[in-house]
Each structure stands twice: as C-alpha cells, then as structure tokens.
Chain A
Amino acid sequence: MAGKSNKTLPPQVLTANQLFDGDVVYWREDGTWAQDLPDAFIFEAGAGIEAALVRAEADVEASKILDPYMFAVSIDEGIIHPSSVRETIRAKGPTVRLDLGKQAA
C-alpha cells in the first residue's frame, strides 16, 4: 500500500515517546513532534505513512524519540479520538490520577 491511498484504512496518527523523558509525542505535518494529540497530523486512507515513518526513523537514529508507530483514530467534529483505550490513556494520562500527565496541564 506504499504511499497509495486505500479507502478502507481508518485515519491514523503517528506517535512515539521522547527519549529524554519518555513523554508521548505526535507527528506534525512539518515533521516536528507535538506534545498533544489535537496537534497531530492525520494520515487519511494510508497516504504518506511510509514517508513519515522513514523520517521518524531518522529521529530515532538522532536519539530524539523512541518506538514510533501508527495508531487508528476516528474524527468526530474535528476532534481526534483514538480507537483504543491504550491510546486514549497515552493521550491524557493515568485515568486514576487526573492530576497527572497531559490531562493535568
């Protein structure tokens, strides 16, 4: 599916953890990393994923980030909703400590 569009794929977001503090980050269109999910670039129908992963891999090699990967989201009225509980928790923070993580800021 390299670079080509595939109508059956859900929208996706590219994420990683920052090397120096492990914080969750999201890929922006310009190739920098955002702290918050609303700032993430949305890959529609698989387009552009491969190129982005190559650039992310370069950031791994440059010791900026760790373990980049894509995850599925759905978009509702312009708001990005991760499709899994795991990604929802990564985007916000522990559900049992609302005073901690991104949700606290």
Chain B
Amino acid sequence: MYRYDEFDASLVKDRVDQFRDQVALRISGEITEDEFKPLRLMNGLYLQLHAYMLRVAIPYGTFDSRQMRMLAHIADKYDKGYGHFTTRQNIQYNWPKLDEVPDILRDLATVEMHAIQTSGNCIRNVTSDQYAGAAKDEIEDPRPWCEMIRQWSSFHPEFSFLPRKFKIAVTGAAHDRAAIQVHDIGATLTHNDNGETGFTIYVGGGLGRTPMLGKKIRDFVPRAELLAYLEAVMRVYNMHGRRDNLYKARIKILVHEIGAEEMIRLVDAEYEDIQKNGALGLPEEEIARILNYFAPPAFEPLDETDTSYAEKLNGDLAFANWAKTNIAEHKAPGYAIVNLSLKPIGDIPGDISAEQMYAVADLAERYSFDEIRATHEQNLTLPHVKQSDLYELWQKLTDQGLATPNIGLASDIIACPGLDYCNLANARSIPLAQEISNRFADLDRQHNVGPLKIKISGCINACGHHHVGHIGILGVDRKGKEYYQISLGGSADENTSVGKILGPSFDEHSITDAVETVVNTYLGLREDGETFLAAVGRVGLEPFKEALYGTD
C-alpha cells in the first residue's frame, strides 16, 4: 500500500487548514453560500435532505486496519455510528455538523485519508479493480498508476473547474471489474509486443441521463507518458466541453458531438505539445518508488489447494455455500480473495456499523496482510487470505453478520441512497432493495437463479448504475409519488452494455412483483446453464414484456 511521505502529508494538512478557514468564513457570514458551495463540494461535503453528508475518499478502494478504525471512530464520534459504502469505492457519513467537518478531516489526515475532490466539477477519486494485486487474471497491479493519477489530479491548478465532474478508472486484468467503459476515462493496463507496460485509453463513457460506452482513442500510451496523455485529454475537455447545459457537460457528450476521430485529433495535438513543453513525463525513480509500495506481500510458499480447506468444504454445507460465491481465485497458490457481503438479507446495501468496521479491521490485520478493499458493488474484500484460514475467518465473519453467502446473486443488490437521504432523488432505492432481497431470501432459489446483478438508482444520475444492471431499476417521480422503471440486459464487465427499458413504470407496491415476474420468466425460458444475461441476449425483451404487460 502507498504511504504518505512528508510532501503528501503537508498537502493534506494544508487542505484541512484551508477548509477550516473557509468554514469559519462561512459561519461568520463573510462568504455566501454560493461562494462556499464549490469549496465544500471540493471537500466532499453535500447538503442532503436531513443533514450534511460527507464523502470520504478511499483512493482506488484500498485501505488498511488503521484507516478502517479511524472510519469507525468518526462514525461513533461525529456521526450516528455507521457509514455507507458507495458505488465509487468511497464511504459516506450522513449526519456531520458543518463546524465539526474540519475536525473530521483533521482526524482523517492522521491516517492519510481525506475527502479531497470527492465531489465538485473536478477529477474525482480514481477507481480500480477491487481484486488488484491479488487477482489470478491480472497482467499487472493497476494501483501504482492509480496513485500516480491521484497525486497528479489532486489540486490540479488547470483542471479544478471543469465543465462537470470527471471520473477515471484503471484496470490491470483481463476481466474488467472496474467498469472502465462507463467512465469519463478508462485505462486498461496492457503490454505491447516488446513487453513494455502501457495503457489502452477509452474516453467518453458514462451513465446518467445519456448512457454511453467509452470509445477507444489510443491503443498504447507508454507508462511514463500516462499523465502527459491524461493531461492532453483534460485540456481538450476543459476548453471544448459544453458549459451551456448541465446535462450536456460531461465529456461523453463532447465525444459524441464531435466524434471519436476529431477527439483523437484534438487530443493528439495537445499531447504532442505537452510532450514538447509540458515536462510531465514521470521520472523513472518516482515510478519505481511508487511501484515499490505495491510490491506483493510476503506470501508463504503453499500448495495450490489446502487440504483442510477442501475437507471443510465437503463437511460443512453452510461454509461451502459461502465459499461458492464469496471467494475468488488468488494468484498466489494456497491463498484466496474473500468478499464480505454488506448485503444481509433485507438490510440496507452498503451500510456498515462502527462495530463491524472495528471487527473488519481486526480480521484484515489477522488474516489479510492488513489490507481491505471497498468494491464498487458496495461490498468489502479481504484480498489475501490463506485457504487454511478461510474456515475460521468465515466463522468470525458470520458472527459479525458479514458472511451472507450472496455475492453476485439476486440479493447482492446495488442501491444508491435514494430519497431516504438524497436531495436529488425521485424515489427511494433502499426499501425496494430490501424488499427484493427478502423476496429472494431463500438461498437455494438464489442459486437456482444464478448470477444476477440488480442495480437500483433513485434518479437519472445513476449512482446505483442501473443502466448496467442485468436488471436495472430507475426511480421516477409522478406527481410526488414514487414509480420505478425496469431495464434489462445491462452489464459493466469487459462486454459492457446498456440495458433496455422494458415499458411503463411500476408503483412501489407492484415493482417487486414485477422483478419476480421477470426472474420467473427467465427461469421458464432459459436453456441449459444459460445465465440471466445470456438469456436476455438471446430472446430479447419480448417474452418479458409479455409476462409483465400481457399481449395487446
């Protein structure tokens, strides 16, 4: 993991002091809300329905026990004893008081954390593969590059007042777990024919009102040139992105309007110029320094499969069920990646109590080389666990309510905060997630249904990624009442696609039945071993429309 040196620490400290002054100016009335709002947003502080909300960055989703304990401490001391993990690998607190936020930021800084650029029209927290550094299918760990991007994009003097927010995702594995094609910039780590490391760049992806997939604009950017190239993209966007219409301000609209060809031409021209004048090539020493922080932990030399683990799998059905969905293959023999479900049946997706946070911190220290990951599916991951420890770990997770065996199944639902908290919402997301989860509580039924990603957003901003849900649900407002629109066939992996809307929306009392009808329709028509997503791909929407709306 990356550790701050005195320079990083100095910057975060300056930022805390700056925000403390800004809050004081606001409270004394010296600056207006219009002037203050962009300042608080640059520090992740929103005004929600009931209170402020503070979004704390977990850069590329990687953190450790010390940091997790601090998150728990903040939940207890300044908030209401819990936090909410988001689809952007961040954590949110729902009840901070304005004058205490500088203290929260000061406390966070003691463990090298902050809320910098977690909102506002700037480059946001860079996201990545939650299995980075552990996944079996990984080419190289993407996190060193995420860290370089984090530093470069923090307090960037030229790109802090962009037309709109800007999200960058980086992945280093064949299987895309970072949804890079639905980001403003997606970078895939790759090797060229000479075995050199570089990045394939996609630009202009995004969800929201106009979902679009990123276009590939460069096959290979050499690794030392990554920041120079990103700077070129940013400058094109900063100068040419639309500022006349909030809904057309994302880079995806620019790329769509001028076309990928023209985008490439503009970016290449900037890139060439930056290479000439900009001096943004990172020195090899600095690259080496940062790479070094992400060297793999000292894995013990172990057999591919641990015998005690195999025995437990045979002997304990509950354990075997958990292992089936919540464990992923690790690149080191004898190790496993463990997913902690934050989706207990009928509970709030992504919420975690301070007590659970403390417990996860202890478990990470004991079993996972002190590493924790936040996933964009609102779960947590312990990336490096010995197979021989899995049974014991599972028992402890069970005690904490963190071992629901449902990763990737129907009850592993993504849901944004929705109208229970969010100022922009049309409808609630969480109660619907709870109801669907309860409906599919039976584990045999979930296994029978197989891999199914249900994603719920409370409005078109799509924080719940509904466009890329196998079943996507969008909250809409009809005269102050909540309605829900279903789309099918979305996906956010290496075969990214945007789901298609089924038809008229459902009210809060009939939406869960409608989801169940969709699932049952799939069960009735699937061919041998065919997943929900594959079945929708094969048969299209018609059978589902018919089941829901009848024939006319």
Size category of the binding interface on chain A: 20 to 34
Is A75 interfacial (CB-CB < 8 Å)?
no
Is A6 interfacial (CB-CB < 8 Å)?
no
Is B256 interfacial (CB-CB < 8 Å)?
no
Q: Which residues of the partner chain A approach B449 to less than 8 Å between Cβ atoms?
A: none
Min C-beta distance of A91 to chain B, whole Å: 10
Q: Which residues of the partner chain A approach B49 to less than 8 Å between Cβ atoms?
A: 24, 86, 89-90
Min C-beta distance of B79 to chain A, whole Å: 10
Min C-beta distance of B449 to chain A, whole Å: 25
A101 to B480, CA, bound (A): 21
Min C-beta distance of B50 to chain A, whole Å: 5
A85 to B97, CA, bound (A): 25
Q: Which residues of the partner chain A approach B52 to less than 8 Å between Cβ atoms?
A: 21-22
Q: Which residues of the partner chain B approach A84 to less than 8 Å between Cβ atoms?
A: 480
Known: A19-B33, A66-B33. 7 other contacts (CB 8 A): A24-B50, A61-B32, A84-B480, A86-B425, A93-B50, A96-B428, A96-B430
Cβ–Cβ contact B51 & A21, under 8 A: yes
Contact of B420 among A21, A22, A23, A96 (CB under 8 A): A96
A20 to B27, CA, bound (A): 8
Residues of B within 8 A of A (CB): 26-29, 32-33, 47-52, 80, 95, 97-99, 348, 419-421, 425, 427-428, 430-431, 434, 480-482
Which chain A residue lies CB-closest to B417? A94
Q: A63-B28, A96-B348 are in contact. Are A22 and B431 (CB under 8 A)?
A: no
Cβ–Cβ contact A83 & B419, under 8 A: no
Which chain A residue lies CB-closest to B347? A96
Q: Which residues of the partner chain A approach B51 to less than 8 Å between Cβ atoms?
A: 21-23
Is A12 interfacial (CB-CB < 8 Å)?
no
Q: Which residues of the partner chain B approach A61 to less than 8 Å between Cβ atoms?
A: 29, 32
Cβ–Cβ contact B480 & A22, under 8 A: no
Mark each residue of chain A from 40 to 82: 1 if its CB lies under 8 Å from any CB of chain B, else 0. 0000000000000000000011110011000000000000000
Q: A21-B51, A21-B52 are in contact. Are A94 and B33 (CB under 8 A)?
A: no
Cβ–Cβ contact A63 & B431, under 8 A: no
Cβ–Cβ contact A101 & B50, under 8 A: yes
In chain A, positions 86-104 with a C-beta closer than 8 Å to chain B are 86, 89-90, 93-97, 100-102
A4 to B52, CA, bound (A): 36
A22 to B47, CA, bound (A): 7
Q: Which residues of the partner chain A approach B434 to less than 8 Å between Cβ atoms?
A: 96
Min C-beta distance of A16 to chain B, whole Å: 11
Q: Which residues of the partner chain B approach A23 to less than 8 Å between Cβ atoms?
A: 50-51
A86 to B485, CA, bound (A): 19
Min C-beta distance of B29 to chain A, whole Å: 4
- Can you pick out 13 interface pairs between chain A and chain B where the beta carbons lie within 8 Å of each other? A20-B27, A21-B51, A22-B52, A23-B50, A24-B49, A66-B47, A67-B47, A89-B428, A94-B50, A95-B428, A97-B420, A101-B50, A102-B50
Q: Which residues of the partner chain B approach A101 to less than 8 Å between Cβ atoms?
A: 50
Contact of A95 among B32, B33, B431 (CB under 8 A): B431
Q: Which residues of the partner chain A approach B427 to less than 8 Å between Cβ atoms?
A: 85
In the A-B complex, the 10 residue pairs with the closest CB atoms: A84-B480, A63-B29, A94-B420, A22-B51, A22-B52, A21-B97, A96-B430, A90-B49, A20-B98, A101-B50
A34 to B431, CA, bound (A): 29
Which chain B residue lies CB-closest to A65? B33
Which chain B residue lies CB-closest to A23? B51
A66 to B33, CA, bound (A): 8
Q: Which residues of the partner chain A approach B428 to less than 8 Å between Cβ atoms?
A: 85, 89, 95-96
A73 to B306, CA, bound (A): 65
Q: Which residues of the partner chain B approach A96 to less than 8 Å between Cβ atoms?
A: 348, 420, 428, 430-431, 434
